[in-house]
């Protein structure tokens, strides 16, 4: 299904961001020793990520990250993380809550030597810039979807995206998980899912 809400900038950024992240992952594995951590399907872990803490590589599996709103009482999902993707922050330290959609393995690397190498290498700086730009465009597109298209189409697009992920059955993803991405209660998600089983929504004109 064609995503009518994806901007030209996002379409241009995506291939560059994927290539940059693939090269960064290979660079990490080839130059630094990391520690493997296994996460079973359905489990949640909180990882420290930042210049003074750690950088993470998804070695296998599929996860998604969540964050709390400013009041800390509402949890929202913001991004998928698949095998070969990295979690890297230029901030001093942040906590990332990761949910495993299936069995996953994460590799933990100390960020300080990575950051030191990056400061000395213009090519690495460019790769990280492309990585962050692609992530920003993805997040921006999700906010745009939330503002401009119906709940039915947002859920339809999310399930379509999940169907492209290896070893993920969208029908097996529970309503609460989908609700984290849509900012909706699981009961509302369930009602819309039943409606979509009868007929998909028409494409948005936005």
Domain chopping of the chain, boundaries: 8-146, 150-198
pLDDT tens column, 137-194? 877 777 777 777 888 888 888 888 888 887 788 888 888 888 888 888 899 999 999 9
> Given pLDDT bands bounded at 50, 70 and 90, which one contains residue 103?
very high
pLDDT of residue 188: 92
The proportion of the chain whose per-residue pLDDT surpasses 70, expressed as a percent, equals 83
Mean pLDDT for the stretch of residues 115-136: 87
In what side-by-side order are the strands of the sheet with 35-39? Answer: 35-39, 104-110, 54-60, 86-87
Q: What is the pTM of this model?
A: 0.74
**Checking DSSP bridges between strand 94-100 and strand 54-60, what pairing results, if any?**
unpaired
Which stretches of the chain are assigned E, i.e. beta strand?
35-39, 44-49, 54-60, 62-68, 75-82, 86-87, 94-100, 104-110
CATH topology (fold) of 8-146: Jelly Rolls (2.60.120)
Judged against a pLDDT cut of 50, whether residue 32 lies above it is answered with yes
- Strand 62-68 vs strand 104-110: parallel, antiparallel, or unpaired? unpaired
Percent of the chain residues past pLDDT 90, beyond the cut: 24
């Amino acid at each position: 299904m064609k995503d009518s809400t994806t901007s030209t900038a996002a379409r241009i950024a995506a291939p560059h961001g994927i290539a940059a992240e693939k090269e960064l992952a290979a660079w990490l594995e080839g130059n630094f020793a990391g520690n493997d951590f296994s996460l079973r399907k359905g489990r949640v872990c909180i990882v420290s990520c930042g210049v003074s803490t750690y950088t993470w590589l998804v070695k296998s599996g599929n996860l998604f990250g969540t964050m709390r709103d400013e009041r800390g009482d509402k949890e929202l999902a913001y991004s998928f993380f698949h095998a070969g993707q990295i979690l890297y922050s230029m901030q001093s330290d942040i906590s990332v809550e990761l949910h495993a959609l299936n069995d996953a393995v994460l590799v933990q690397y100390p960020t300080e030597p990575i950051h030191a190498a990056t400061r000395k290498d213009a090519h690495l700086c460019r790769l990280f810039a492309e990585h962050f730009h692609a992530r920003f465009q993805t997040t921006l597109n999700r906010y745009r979807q939330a503002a401009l298209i119906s709940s039915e189409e947002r859920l339809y697009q999310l399930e379509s995206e999940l169907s492209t992920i290896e070893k993920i059955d969208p029908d097996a993803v529970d309503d609460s998980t989908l609700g984290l991405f849509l900012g909706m209660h699981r009961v509302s998600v369930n009602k819309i899912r039943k409606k979509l089983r009868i007929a998909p929504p028409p494409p948005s004109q936005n």
